[in-house]
Amino acid sequence: MLRVQQVLVRDSFMELIRALVVFKTWACKWTSERQGTETTASFEAMASSSSSLLLFLCGLSLAAAQLRVFNLRASGLPSDLLGTTDGYVTVFCASNSLGKTSVRNNNANPWWEEEFSYFKAQEGDVLRLEVHDRDVLFDDLIGVCQRQIKVGTNSHDCYLKKGGTLHYTYTLG
Ligand SMILES: [Ca+2]
């Protein structure tokens, strides 16, 4: 929603700038014929400051925000063949890896104290958390949680494909 508004604002200003450029061209012609350069200079200044404003607004639409992911805990994780679950979570935002938690050995209801930060997040980016069970040879993927992030502090419960639930909180802004 925010992004849509930013695009609309940006497009409106693009129209305004186009109109200003047309007006300036006309005005410059008119003033050079009638009054010399003094008025032309003020039109130049006006168009120039509008361009700066446009650049500022374009920058705003690409503005990055800080994402913080924390309070990770799981409940009811399924046990593997050896009867233990050694859970850990890997965290991604918009295909960037933010890192992974430590492994909580032999615990179906683990929690993790690690926090993850990403300074280039934008509203609408996809936050992805993967819950794994570490094994001797190949780790098992228990489930994946992903959603588009929104500004503010948000907590979610996510049901994992192979069983159990992941709880997490993130803050964007
Ligand atoms: Ca295991």
Q: Is there a single domain that holds both residue 33 and residue 109?
A: no
Q: Is there a single domain that holds both residue 27 and residue 102?
A: no
The token duo for 60 is 């705003």
- 146 CA from centroid of ligand 1 (Å): 23
Q: Is there a single domain that holds both residue 160 and residue 141?
A: yes
Q: Is there a single domain that holds both residue 45 and residue 130?
A: no
Q: Is there a single domain that holds both residue 45 and residue 33?
A: yes
Sign of CA dihedral 118, 154, 152, 150: positive
- 119 CA from centroid of ligand 1 (Å): 33
Q: Is there a single domain that holds both residue 84 and residue 33?
A: no
Question: Would you give per-residue pLDDT tens digits along the chain (173 residues)?
Answer: 445 555 455 555 445 545 544 444 444 354 445 444 444 455 455 556 666 655 555 455 557 899 999 999 999 999 887 788 999 999 999 989 999 999 999 999 999 999 999 999 999 999 999 999 999 889 999 999 999 999 999 999 999 999 999 999 999 99
Q: Is there a single domain that holds both residue 73 and residue 152?
A: yes
- 50 CA from centroid of ligand 1 (Å): 61
Burial 121-157 (b: 16+ CB within 10 A, else e): bbbebebbbbbbbbeeeebbebbebeeebeeeeeeee
- 74 CA from centroid of ligand 1 (Å): 15
Which of 43, 61, 79 finishes a domain?
61
Which range of residues forms the domain containing residue 119?
65-172
- 105 CA from centroid of ligand 1 (Å): 8
CB 155, CB 167: distance < 8 Å: yes
Structural domain count, the chain:
2
Q: Which residues surround ligand 1, an ion (CB under 5 A)?
A: 80, 86, 133, 135
Which of 61, 84, 101 finishes a domain?
61
Q: Is there a single domain that holds both residue 44 and residue 78?
A: no
Q: Is there a single domain that holds both residue 79 and residue 51?
A: no
- 133 CA from centroid of ligand 1 (Å): 5
Distance (Å, rounded) from C-alpha 100 to C-alpha 88?
A: 7
Cα 113 to chain center, whole Å? 23
Q: Is there a single domain that holds both residue 35 and residue 10?
A: yes
Which of 61, 77, 99 finishes a domain?
61
